[in-house]
């Protein structure tokens, strides 16, 4: 097996703003495994507020190239266990390797990954479409650019949060989800939850700073809406930590280290009675297609990242007004177009 690594800059469709900051483009790290006629692809996006950059990921993976290419594996978890020791728990780099391994695995065996896992996509939940923070007028225009979706995820963390949701509600009957990306206090969350419930909001995602566990106790006791962890749930051990503080967890492949740990996190969350969600960054169809394999396991999904960028670098799993559409390609379904 041979490995190729790339760093590619992905331009955003629009300036993408959340409570952590704004971006017009973002670097993404791509791994390609080649085994004879088969090519497997994986991705991990550089995220500044987690202190992750694409160059570091590439350098670390290149430093273990010899071990990767020499490793004999017939199931992706074997590679994951070996690499997670060699990469010093660099979960972002590990994610790209793990996705590529799963894609190659499915292509070798001639089946989609979800089918190899024994999953049935017949009851897949729809994905939301994300509206980044901007002026109210621009946020309305962004939503109208993608009309007819059953669910919109609205990024908040401004002085006009309730006014934004009221304005958007005038233009659609769709379900809303709110993601404050740690920007609120416990008191703001409780107060906002009452107004937002009346505006057709389904749940709140990570309203408080990741380490404000005392605040989350108050929110759990008094919020009018369910609360889903994101920044508070990064790796596998965080699922148990969130029990009793959140109603559910949003698992990000880039943060936890790929599909292998994500499946374990979903299983553990269900054992604890937590709702399960997998979310995305603003990655290409390489990463989105990997997420698509997990959808039959989930209560909620947020996999619109490839729609938020201005130019994709692959084809694969797509969304039709939120409905997950799988390609004919096996593995995770990726064809790299560069």
Query: 77 Cβ partners below 8 Å, 6+ apart?
Result: 260
pLDDT 10s digits, 174-223: 999 999 999 999 999 999 999 999 999 999 999 999 999 999 999 999 99
Residue-level pLDDT at 88? 79
More confident of the two residues 243 and 338: 243
Euclidean distance between CA atoms 231 and 239, whole angstroms: 12
More confident of the two residues 132 and 22: 132
β-bridge mates for residue 205, sequence order: 179, 228
Q: Is the pLDDT of residue 14 over 90?
A: no
Euclidean distance between CA atoms 206 and 184, whole angstroms: 9
Q: Is the pLDDT of residue 50 over 90?
A: no
Domain coordinates in residue numbering, the chain: 2-111, 116-336
Mean pLDDT of the chain: 96
Can you give the pTM of this predicted structure? 0.96
Residue-level pLDDT at 19? 67
Token couple for 133: 């923070």
Fold classified for 2-111 = Enolase-like; domain 1 (3.30.390)
CATH classification number, 116-336, choose in 3.20.20.120, 3.40.50.300, 3.40.630.30, 3.30.420.40: 3.20.20.120
The DSSP string of 172-228 is: --SEEEEE-TT---HHHHHHHHHHHHHTTEEEEE--S-TT-HHHHHHHHHH-SS-EE
pLDDT 10s digits, 113-154: 999 999 999 989 999 999 999 999 999 999 999 999 999 999
Give the residue-averaged pLDDT of 28-43: 96
User: Strand 38-45 relative to strand 335-336: parallel, antiparallel, unpaired?
Assistant: unpaired
The DSSP string of 217-264 is: HHHHHH-SS-EEESTT--STHHHHHHBTTBSEEEEEHHHHTSHHHHHH
Give the residue-averaged pLDDT of 305-325: 97
The band of 251, judged by pLDDT with boundaries at 50, 70 and 90, is very high
Residue-level pLDDT at 59? 96
pLDDT 10s digits, 149-162: 999 999 999 999 99
Which stretch of 24-28, 184-188, 267-271 has the lowest confidence by average pLDDT? 24-28
Q: What is the number of other CB atoms lying within 10 angstroms of the CB of residue 275?
A: 17
Residue-level pLDDT at 20? 73
Which stretch of 33-37, 49-53, 144-148, 253-257 has the lowest confidence by average pLDDT? 49-53
Q: Is the pLDDT of residue 89 over 80?
A: no
Q: What stretches of 60-165 adopt beta strand conformation (E)?
A: 129-131, 151-155
Residue-level pLDDT at 318? 98
Phi, psi of 157 (to 5 degrees): 130, 40
Same fold, 2-111 and 116-336: no
């Amino acid at each position: 097996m041979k490995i190729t690594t790339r760093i590619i800059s992905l331009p955003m469709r629009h300036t993408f703003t959340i409570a952590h900051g704004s971006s017009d483009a973002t670097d993404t790290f791509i791994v390609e495994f080649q085994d004879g006629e088969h090519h497997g692809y994986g991705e991990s996006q550089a995220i500044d507020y987690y202190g992750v950059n694409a160059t570091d990921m590439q350098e670390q993976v290149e430093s273990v190239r010899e071990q990767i290419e020499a490793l004999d594996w017939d199931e992706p978890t074997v590679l994951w266990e070996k690499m997670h020791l060699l990469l010093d728990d660099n979960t972002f780099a590990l994610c790209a390797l793990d996705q590529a391994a799963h894609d190659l695995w499915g292509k070798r065996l001639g089946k989609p990954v979800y089918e190899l896992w024994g999953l049935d996509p017949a009851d897949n939940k729809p994905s939301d479409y994300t509206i980044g923070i901007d002026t109210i007028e621009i946020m309305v225009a962004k939503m109208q650019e993608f009309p007819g979706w059953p669910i919109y995820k609205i990024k908040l963390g401004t002085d006009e949060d309730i006014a934004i949701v009221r304005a958007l509600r005038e233009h659609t009957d769709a379900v809303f989800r709110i993601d404050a990306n740690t920007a609120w206090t416990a008191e703001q969350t409780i107060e906002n939850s009452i107004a937002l419930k009346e505006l057709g909001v389904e749940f709140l995602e990570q309203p408080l700073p990741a380490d404000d566990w005392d605040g989350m106790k108050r929110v759990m006791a008094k919020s009018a809406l369910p609360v889903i962890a994101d920044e508070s749930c990064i790796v596998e051990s965080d699922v148990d930590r969130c029990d009793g503080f959140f109603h559910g967890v949003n698992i990000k492949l880039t943060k936890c280290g790929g599909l292998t740990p994500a499946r374990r996190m979903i299983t553990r969350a269900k054992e604890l009675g937590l709702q399960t969600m997998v979310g995305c960054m603003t990655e290409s169809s390489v990463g989105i297609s990997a997420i698509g394999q997990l959808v039959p396991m989930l209560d909620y999904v947020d996999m619109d990242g490839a729609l938020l960028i201005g130019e994709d670098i692959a084809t694969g799993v797509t969304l039709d007004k939120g409905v997950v559409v799988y390609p004919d390609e096996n593995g995770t379904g990726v064809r790299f177009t560069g």
